[in-house]
Amino acid sequence: MRVTTLSVALIFFVLAGCAGTVDVTKTVKGAYNPTNPNDVEILMTRPAKPYVELGSVTVNGFKPGDNAEMHNAIRAKSAPLGADAVILTHQGLINNGLAIV
């Protein structure tokens, strides 16, 4: 199974609106077919099996307690890039533009 990894910077806004924002930057050469968002894995560690890094993802606009919903947002927005998995690398709080990590 091909395992694909995205570096993720997760940023929680203290005050979230009605929608969060996901920003995806592609770094890989070429294109991959979109995957099923339901199958995109959220990982906290790098997988042992070989993988190709497709790009990076930044998320904001989610309340600190809404982790699972934010993970679904990451799944939904990483699937069009062809991701099988996303590795969470950073997360923290932003209040008035000041990062509290």
Partner 1 sequence: MGFKDRIDCYSGSKTIACLSVFVLICLFVSSCASDIANRYYGNTRYPPKQPNQVEILRECPTRPYDVIADFQSRGETPEDMRRKAAEIGADAVIVATLGGLYSHGEEWAGSDSLSHTYTRITGTAIKYRN
As measured in angstroms, the least distance from the Cβ of 66 to partner 1 is 7
Q: How far is the CB of 85 from partner 1 (least distance, A)?
A: 13
Cβ-based neighbour number of residue 79 at 10 Å: 18
Which residue, 29 or 49, has its beta carbon nearer to partner 1?
29
* C-beta of 37 vs 47, nearer to partner 1: 37
Q: What does the DSSP assignment read for 28-57?
A: SSS------GGGPEEESS--SS-EEEEEEE
Kind and range of the H or E element at 63?
none
Instruction: Compute the residue count for the chain.
Output: 101
State the nearest-atom distance from the C-beta of 9 to partner 1, in Å: 13
CB-wise, 54 or 87, nearer to partner 1? Answer: 54
Reduced to 3 states (helix: H, G, I; strand: E, B; else coil), residue 95 is strand
Binding site for partner 1 (CB under 8 A): 16-26, 29-34, 36-38, 40, 55, 57, 62, 66, 69, 72-73, 75-77, 80-81
